[in-house]
Amino acid sequence: MLRTQIAKASLPLIARRQFAATSRIMAAGDTGSGSSRPGGAASGDVWTGREKGNEDMWIRAEEQAKLKALSEKVKNAQKHMEELQGYMYDGPAPPSKSFKGHTDPTSSKDLTREENESSEKK
């Protein structure tokens, strides 16, 4: 017992003082908690609505920035594809669907019927 009395006496007065006041903690139903409103705690107050609005605006701006970056990537990819296609068909013209073989105008296959008959008479 003497030991405890000596330990108490060695502590400063402020350290031995006991406080009767406790910190306030909000519970359901307290003022400002929002549970007394018709929408419940989810409806919140003006500040809650403002904060939600700010968060929604920030999220929308972030999504817009991501969509813009994505559209730039798509444009760059399309330009790259066009450049690669230009390398593929740099020489002769690319084959078309209506390509029938010879393109020589003197070839007998390309002559019309009238020209073909006139060449046979000669």
pTM: 0.37
Supply the range of the domain harboring residue 44: 40-89
Predicted confidence at residue 45, as pLDDT, reads 79
Predicted confidence at residue 99, as pLDDT, reads 47
- Nearest alpha-carbon partner for 106 in 93, 119, 92: 119
Distance CA 53, CA 61 (A): 12
7 in a structural domain: no
Predicted confidence at residue 88, as pLDDT, reads 81
118 in a structural domain: no
45 in a structural domain: yes
Predicted confidence at residue 67, as pLDDT, reads 98
Distance CA 115, CA 122 (A): 11
Tally the domains of the chain.
1
Segments in the chain below pLDDT 70: 1-44, 90-122
Residue 12 carries which side chain, given as an amino acid letter? P
Predicted confidence at residue 74, as pLDDT, reads 97
Distance CA 107, CA 116 (A): 10
Distance CA 13, CA 5 (A): 14
Predicted confidence at residue 87, as pLDDT, reads 82
Q: What is the CA radius of gyration of the chain?
A: 44
